[in-house]
Structure formats: structure tokens, C-alpha cells
Amino acid sequence: MNVDKCKKSIDGASLQMIDKACADCVGTVWDRFEAQQPQCGFGELGVCCRNCLSGPCRVNPFGEPSAGICGASADTIVARNLLRSVAGGAATHVDHAFEAVEMLEMAAEKSIPYDIKDEAKLRAVAGGLGLETEGKDKFELAKELAKALYSDFAPGKETMDFLKATAPAERVETWRKLGILPKDPDLEIRRIMHETTMGCDADPVNLLLNTAKMGLVDCYSGLKLGTDVQDIVFGTPMPVKTEANLGVLSKDKVNIVIHGHIPFLSEKIVEWARRLEDEAKAAGAAGIQLSGLCCTGNEVLMRQGVASAGNYLSQELAIVTGAVDLMVVDVQCIMPSLAQVAACYHTKLVTTHDIGKIPGAEHVDFRAEHADEDAARIVRMGIAAYKNRNAAKVEIPPQKAEMWGGFSVEAIVTALSKLDAENPLKPLVDNIVAGNVFGAAGIVGCNNPRFPQDSVIVPLAKELLKNNVLIVVTGCVAHALGKAGLMCPEGAEKYAGPGLLAVLRAVGEAAGLGGPLPPVLHMGSCVDNSRIGDLLGALAGYLGVSVSQLPVAASAPELNHEKALSIGTWAVDLGLFTHIGMAPFVLGSPVVTKVLTEDIEGLVGGKFYVEPDPVKAAEAMVAHIRKKREALGI
Amino acid sequence: MKKVLTEVSKCLGCHSCENACAAVHSEAASFLGAVLAGEKPRSAVRVLAGTGGAKLPLRCQHCAVPACVDVCPTGAMQKDAVTGAVFCDAEQCVGCLLCVDACPFTAIVEDGGKPFKCDLCHDREGGPACAAACPTGALRFGEAEQGAVSAMEREILDILKGAK
């Protein structure tokens, strides 16, 4: 295929594997992207509706027809489609978090082979919800906590208790006044499916307000709930050093790649890979090399130091190395094409989740109750597959970079407390006030083949660091910046502006890291965007201001999944200036476009800003931070 | 004479023209009929991605001075004096495919050893199916501009050359 290589990726390891895929006659995402060109402009504009059987209808942006058969205008159709997408994103996180609560309950009942690892966080979260924590052992308290968290899924409350307990009070009040506090997540997701069906809501503004509400469902019954419960069960991440890029794959070891989003099985895979090292050696391998992709990769990177093989657009390329013996997947962002790519090599592709099956893959019906047996079986499948590896087909790119992870809020506060034990946030705030740290940016989200892999993410981050903006990351952005060498102490020396570098050195040395703190802090998976929210909430609380007044900005440079839309909506709800590298499918409606990029700022303080050029986006984010600094008088 | 006029800036790349063309040229002569029968009818119009995000519905322009007619050694490729449609008489065609190379719009393709191109839906009520299916008016059946190469044709050639 003829898409220029430079249009595919800026990552040398990816480019090498794209060439290998071509030589091996293996089709990849870029070939399919090219085959889809040009993509339908009605879909791109969001003016195509197929919500009823009179349709499909589409509105002509150049004239007639100006409405669907039912009479829905472009504004209505665009707003309805957006709301369905945002609800799709929220549903993934709510479902994920619900599974986490089920795990917590089963672990508390000791009916599954999982511990309750972070008792302090258990007590903090339970206490925050008003549960009596004194005099109870961790299992008893965890059982009560699970029950309390389940109650957020039941009807009868004004809003979720977990939202009221964890969101900044000023924000809760703002959302209440706007009438966008969600009742319970299942009701809200059900209701928007109803609302957006034929013949219901035609008011774009009402649809957009409910979109804003769905952002709150996403965070407070999804992201935040998932993170906190997973920390309780698996432990809260602390700084850990690892490596990133396809070069982490080993020529001599059994390579098992973990891909997807939910850490329940992957935690056990890590445990069993360590326990079955001898079986791998007996099979002639030097051991077992684990690596991760996407957010399951981030989960085990954050808590277990497992290396990163790459992000979304690297998933097929990992298999193209010919060195991956087994790839085990759960849910979300898993390309169905993996089965075809794996079939070109010896790689065993294993699906494990009820709602994540792929024709051509082997399915292992993973259950927490027999997690040990399932994980051991999968690792042994990898060892067996190693024996089929064809050395002639193996080519592992040399690229790998040192990458640090594990920067939970707890870890950041611990590091800062070495400078001021009484008031850990004070050194950070003092340096923001002094201007050494100009501000902070959260860069999150996906890869998207519309952009060369990482080509917006990396220059944007470098530009912000030059301007002394501290960066926190999650998701596929973390893998991108890890691969690019921005997430290690050396990255600070190389890319941070002088003011920021001095602060990173001071914190790094005080925390005993043996060098500066990385300038880009890995806060985890997509659900761990809640950690960024927690950090902002803590800073706003310390300063006694609203989150929307902080000198910070958010960005999803290469957004792709519906999850990015729901997370972005929550970021705007929180009051953040939220950069996105492309417009979602809304440009067919001038009303929706204007509300999202202008009017919503007057309601919640945040708004969307669209800019595909990384340098221009960085300028706009810096200008926004400057405006917020001036408003605070700093 | 009337022909299918192309207004590139109005094309949203929905591929409706491709589907409509393939459908009317299928055995079943309908889109769903062809899908259900498992037919793979060809479309004489293809929507291409131009540079700078342009979407280009590319088809035979039934040129005033057709290069394909000039190059044809047997006289199979002809321009109808009345309708202005450029068409290939299958009985005279020897399958040399010189027309495929000659067309500046790359609008003639090889199909089973013979040239395959737009026939302007010569016997279709309501005119060419592609224009009838176009939801934005990027393709429209109307009176053609006079001259050897119209401004519209020049625009398409520019996009094809990547000049735009």
C-alpha cells in the first residue's frame, strides 16, 4: 500500500515493523485505513441518523434535505449521536468499575484467590463514604464498602454517594444548579438510550446537558470508582522503573503480551509468569518476558513494573515481530484483526472476557473463582507456543526507553512530603506561584490512524515542558511519551524548562530517586484519569479555589475511542480547558459545535478546543494557563 | 448536450454514487437484489481521496475531444453524435486496452480483458444513476459547458495531479 511511511508513525520501532509486515504480506491498520479513504462526510459531520427504520437519513449541509424523515434537524441528529457515543464511553467505565466492586466483594468474602492489599486506602475510601471503620478487620470493612458502592447502582438517591463523597464540593454545587447531577449510572445510561431513540428528545441544548451529565456518570461511577477499588484490591501504585517499546520483547524468553483494560486476570498472569519461570526454562527458553499494551498494560506497569510493548497502534506490530508467543486480551481497543495477524505467525491469541470474543482466537473462560487455574493455563499455553516459534520470522526492533510509572496521587504526595512533611502540596504550590512551574497539563487518550502514531502527542508534550508546564499522563499517551524518552529522569534534563527542571531535581533528590523526577508523570490507565481529578481537587482545595480556576489544561491529542469523548466531557465538567486533536462527529451542527467550544465555558468553566497542530495546541494551552495565573494574581 | 457535472467541493465521500452505479449495472438491477444474489457488480464511478482532504467522485467526463476514441485502433470506442456519450461497441473491441492508458481521468478500467467505463446510463429513466443518488448535488445531470476541456474537467485533472 502506498501511504507514505511518515504518515504512519514517528516511532522507529513501529516503522521497522510496518516494513516487516509489508515484507511478510501482513495487512495492518494503516492498509485498512487507506482502503477506507475517503470516509463518508455525512458520518464525519455527524448528520447521519439510523436510529429508526424510516432511515437511514442524512442531512445535506449544502441544502436539501435539511431534516430527517421524522423532521429531526442536523442539530438534533448531531446532538443525539454525540450523546449516544458519550454514553457508550461511560458504559465501558461503569461496567469495568462494577466488575471491580464485584471483585472487592468476592475478595472480602474470601471466595476468590485475591487479597485486599491496600488496607489504608480501604479505610480512607470507606471513611469518606461515612462508614464506621473502627474495630473492623479489612475483610469485614471491604464487605461493607462493596455493599455501599453497590447502593449507588440502585434507585432512590438524589445522586451517587460516591460522587458526593469524592468530587470537589464547589463542583457538586455547580452541577446541581445546572441540573446535571446523575441519579444512578444504570438509570442514566438507560435513560439516554431512551432519550435518543426516534421521537423523543429533539432539543440540542437538552441533549447536550445530558451529555454533560454522562461525563459525571463516567467519572464517579466509572473512572474514580474503578481506580479506588482496584487500588484497594491490588495495591496503590508507587514509583517503579521499567522500559517501553517493542525492544522489550526478548529473543530468548517466552514473550507473553497482556492487552486490554481490566487488571483482574492480568495481575494473576503476572503472578503465574513468575511462578512458572522454571517450566519456561525446561521448554528451552531463558525465562518469561511479560509486556503490556494499552491500559491493561498500564495497570500492570503501574503496580508490577511490567514493561510496555507500546500503545494502540503497536498491537499488530508486536505480533509482526514474530517473537510474541502469546497475547492475552480482555476488553476494549482490541483490534479484531489480531486474529489474522497472529495466524501469519506462531502467536497464540487468547480472549478471556464474556464480551470480548474474537473469531480465530482461543477463548479461556476466565473467572475470578478459578483465577489461578486460568492464569496458569494461559501462561502454559504461551510456553507451549514458544516451541513453535520460527526463528527465521523473528525480528525485534532495538528501540526501548527507560520509563517510570506508578505516580498515584499517594505516590506524588509521598515524594512531595520529603520536602514538607506537614504540608506536602505546599512545595508544589509555592513553585507554581513563583513561576518555576508555570502550570500543569494532563495529556491522555489514544492513538488514531488519522494521525501518524504519536505525532501529535510527543511534540505537544515537548513544547509544554519547554514552557515549564508539568505533565501528567494516562492511557496510550503514557506509552507514547515513555517510548519517546520523556518519562525518566534523563527526560527532565533533556526537555524540561529551567524552572521546572530545578523543581524536578529538588523533588527527585529529596525522594531518593537518584536524579530528577521524570517531567512526565505516569498516573496510570484510562480509568486512572480519576487520579488526575483527585490531584486537581486536592490542589484546588489547598488553595481554596475552584478546579476551573487552576492554571492547568487537559488534552487528548490523538483521541479515538468513545471513552475519550466521555472522559473529555468529564474534564470539561470539572472546569478544564480541554484540547482535542480532531473534532468529534459534530461539525454538521453549528449549535452543538458552538456550545461545546464556547458556551459551555459559561456553565461549567471548561470547554473543548480543537487543534490538530501540536505546537499551536501547546501555545493555546500555555495561553490558557497564563490567563488563569493572571486571574489568580500570580 | 447533457452530461454528469461534478462539483468537487460538494462531495462528502459517502460512496452513494458508486453503489447506485453498481446496482443499475447488476443483473438484478437493484442494490439489495445484487447484495442478496451475491453479485459483485462494478461501478464506473469511484470516489477517491484527493490531497488536502478533497473527495473526488471520479468518472468518465464524456470529453468533447475524447483521447480514448482517438487512440482506439478499431473504432470500437465512439462518441455518439446526438447524445455526446462516449461508449465502447463490444463487438468491435479487440481488448487492446489502449483506451485505459489514454484516459486522462483514469476513468476507464480493465474488466475481463475489455474496457469498462461509464455508459451514461443511456437507457435509464431519470438519467444517470450516480447523479440521481448523489445527496449533495456534487454529481448533477445537466447541460455541459462548451469547449474542448471545461473548467470543471480542469479542476478534476488538477486534483488528480495532486496540484490542489
Yes or no, beta carbons of A38 and B137 under 8 Å apart:
no
* pLDDT value of position B19: 85
Asked whether the beta carbons of A589 and A79 are under 8 A apart, the reply is yes
Place of cell 512533611: A421
Asked whether the beta carbons of A228 and A121 are under 8 A apart, the reply is yes
Tens-place pLDDT, residues B62-86: 999 999 999 999 999 999 998 899 9
Yes or no, beta carbons of A61 and B12 under 8 Å apart:
yes
Task: Please report, for chain A, the start and end positions of each structural domain, with discontinuous segments joined by +.
Answer: 9-58, 74-234, 246-393, 404-632
Yes or no, beta carbons of B55 and A38 under 8 Å apart:
yes
Tens-place pLDDT, residues A419-447: 999 999 999 999 999 999 999 999 999 99
Q: Determine the average pLDDT of the residues in A70-95.
A: 98
CA A391 to CA A378: how far, in whole Å?
Answer: 22
Indicate whether A581 pLDDT > 60: yes
CA A332 to CA A631: how far, in whole Å?
Answer: 41
* pLDDT value of position B142: 92
Distance from CA of A39 to the nearest CA of B (A): 6
Q: Determine the average pLDDT of the residues in A44-57.
A: 96
Q: Determine the average pLDDT of the residues in A360-380.
A: 98
Q: What is the CATH number of domain A246-393?
A: 3.40.50.2030
Instruction: Determine the structural domain holding residue B155 and report its residue range.
Output: 2-160
Asked whether the beta carbons of A519 and A496 are under 8 A apart, the reply is yes
Tens-place pLDDT, residues A472-523: 999 999 999 999 999 999 999 999 999 999 999 999 999 888 899 999 999 9
Chain B contacts of A65, Cβ < 8 Å? 135
> A with B: how many residue pairs have Cβ under 8 Å apart?
34
Rounded alpha-carbon distances, angstroms, from residue A313 to A140, A337, A338, A554, A568: 43, 12, 12, 22, 21
Yes or no, beta carbons of A60 and B136 under 8 Å apart:
yes
Q: Determine the average pLDDT of the residues in B48-68.
A: 90
Distance from CA of A50 to the nearest CA of B (A): 15
Yes or no, beta carbons of A62 and B47 under 8 Å apart:
no
CA B121 to CA B127: how far, in whole Å?
Answer: 6
Indicate whether A227 pLDDT > 60: yes
Asked whether the beta carbons of A521 and A530 are under 8 A apart, the reply is no
pLDDT bin (cut points 50, 70, 90) of residue A2 is: very low
pLDDT bin (cut points 50, 70, 90) of residue B164 is: very low
Distance from CA of B131 to the nearest CA of A (A): 15
Distance from CA of A497 to the nearest CA of B (A): 35
CA B121 to CA A10: how far, in whole Å?
Answer: 47
For residue A197, what is the DSSP state?
S
Query: Considering Cα of A522, then A526, then A528, then A530, what sign does the dihedral take?
Result: positive
Q: For chain B, give the mean pLDDT.
A: 90
pLDDT bin (cut points 50, 70, 90) of residue A550 is: very high
Please name the residue of chain A whose CA is at the shortest distance from the CA of residue B46.
Answer: A38
* pLDDT value of position B124: 87
Name the residue facing A40 among B10, B13, B137 (closest C-beta): B13
Q: Determine the average pLDDT of the residues in A295-318.
A: 98
pLDDT bin (cut points 50, 70, 90) of residue B1 is: confident
CA A581 to CA A379: how far, in whole Å?
Answer: 39
Interface of B with A in 28-47 (CB under 8 A): 47
Rounded alpha-carbon distances, angstroms, from residue A501 to A480, A520, A614, B60: 21, 12, 22, 62
Indicate whether A301 pLDDT > 50: yes
The answer for residues whose C-beta is within 8 angstroms of residue B30's C-beta and 6 or more apart is: B23
Query: Collapsing DSSP states into helix, strand and coil, what is residue A371?
Result: helix
Indicate whether A20 pLDDT > 70: yes
| Spatial CA neighbour of A607 closest among A218, A208, A220 | A208
Indicate whether A4 pLDDT > 80: no
Q: Determine the average pLDDT of the residues in A19-32.
A: 97
Query: Is B135 part of the contact surface with chain A (CB cutoff 8 Å)?
Result: yes
Q: Determine the average pLDDT of the residues in A134-144.
A: 97
Indicate whether B38 pLDDT > 60: yes
Yes or no, beta carbons of A40 and B14 under 8 Å apart:
yes
Interface test with B, best of A2, A39, A66, A69 (most B CBs within 10 A): A39
Yes or no, beta carbons of B12 and A40 under 8 Å apart:
yes
Please name the residue of chain B whose CA is at the shortest distance from the CA of residue A44.
Answer: B12
Name the residue facing A62 among B47, B55, B136 (closest C-beta): B136
List residues of chain A with CB under 8 Å from any CB of chain B. Answer: 37-42, 44-45, 58, 60-63, 65
Helix (H) or strand (E) holding A580: strand A577-580
Distance from CA of B14 to the nearest CA of A (A): 4
What Rg value do the Cα atoms of chain A yield, rounded? 24
* pLDDT value of position B150: 87
* pLDDT value of position B161: 84
* pLDDT value of position B34: 83
Report the number of distinct structural domains present in chain B. 1
Yes or no, beta carbons of A39 and B11 under 8 Å apart:
no
Q: Can you name the CATH fold of A404-632?
A: Rossmann fold (3.40.50)
Residue B134, Cβ density class (10 Å: 0-12 exposed, 13-18 middle, ≥19 buried): buried
Examine the predicted complex and report whether its ipTM is higher than 0.90.
no
Interface test with A, best of B10, B11, B12, B32 (most A CBs within 10 A): B12
CATH code where residue B47 lies: 3.30.70.20
Fold equal for A74-234 and A404-632: no
Tens-place pLDDT, residues B91-128: 999 999 999 999 999 999 999 999 999 999 987 888 99
Please name the residue of chain A whose CA is at the shortest distance from the CA of residue B11.
Answer: A41
CA A114 to CA A100: how far, in whole Å?
Answer: 12
Query: Is B51 part of the contact surface with chain A (CB cutoff 8 Å)?
Result: no
Q: Can you name the CATH fold of A74-234?
A: Substrate Binding Domain Of Dnak; Chain:A; Domain 2 (1.20.1270)
* pLDDT value of position B40: 82
Longest dimension (CA), chain A: 71
Indicate whether A6 pLDDT > 80: no
Tens-place pLDDT, residues A102-134: 999 999 999 999 999 999 999 999 999 999 999
Please name the residue of chain B whose CA is at the shortest distance from the CA of residue A37.
Answer: B49
Q: For chain B, give the percent of residues with pLDDT over 90.
A: 63
Is the backbone peptide bond immediately before A56 cis, with ω within 30 degrees of 0?
yes
Residue A63, Cβ density class (10 Å: 0-12 exposed, 13-18 middle, ≥19 buried): exposed
- Tell me which long-range contacts A511-517 makes (C-beta under 8 A, separation of at least 24): A511/A239, A511/A414, A511/A415, A511/A418, A512/A418, A513/A239, A513/A415, A513/A489, A514/A489, A515/A489, A515/A490, A516/A489, A516/A492, A517/A415, A517/A489, A517/A492
Q: For chain A, give the percent of residues with pLDDT over 70.
A: 99
Asked whether the beta carbons of A161 and A148 are under 8 A apart, the reply is yes
The residue ranking higher by pLDDT, A470 or B146, is A470
Chain A contacts of B48, Cβ < 8 Å? 38
Name the residue facing A42 among B10, B12, B137 (closest C-beta): B12
